[in-house]
Amino acid sequence: MNHNQEALTARAAPILFVVLWSTGFIGTKYVINNADPLTYLAIRMAVVVGLMAIIAAIARPKWPDRIGIAHSAVAGILVHGFYLGGTAIAIAHSIPAGLSALIPGLQPILTSTIANRWLGEKVTPVQWAGLVLGLGGVMLILHGRPMTGEAGLGWLASVVSLISITLGTLYQRRYCNHIDWRAGNLVQYVSVTIFFTIGAFLFEDRVVHWTREFVLALGWLAVALSIGSIGLLYWLIRHAAATSVASLFYLVPAVTALMAYLLFGERLDALAIAGMVMCAAAVFVVNRRF
Render each residue's pLDDT in the chain as its tens digit; 290 residues.
Answer: 555 666 666 677 888 888 998 898 889 989 998 999 999 999 999 999 999 999 999 999 999 999 999 999 999 999 999 989 988 988 887 766 666 666 666 677 777 777 766 666 677 788 788 878 877 877 777 676 655 555 667 778 878 888 898 899 889 988 998 999 899 999 999 999 999 999 999 999 999 999 999 999 999 999 999 999 988 888 888 877 666 777 777 778 778 888 888 887 777 778 877 877 887 787 777 766 54
Please report whether residue 11 resides in a domain. Answer: no
Please report whether residue 164 resides in a domain. Answer: yes
Please report whether residue 158 resides in a domain. Answer: yes
Number of domains in the chain: 1
Range of the domain at 223: 21-287
pTM, entire model: 0.82
CA-wise closest residue to 48 among 197, 216, 190: 190
- Residue 235, H or E segment: helix 230-239
Please report whether residue 1 resides in a domain. Answer: no
Residue type (1 letter), 171: Y
Rounded to whole angstroms, how far apart are CA atoms 264 and 257?
10
Please report whether residue 223 resides in a domain. Answer: yes
Please report whether residue 10 resides in a domain. Answer: no
Rounded to whole angstroms, how far apart are CA atoms 224 and 230?
9
Rounded to whole angstroms, how far apart are CA atoms 219 and 171?
28
Please report whether residue 165 resides in a domain. Answer: yes
Please report whether residue 9 resides in a domain. Answer: no
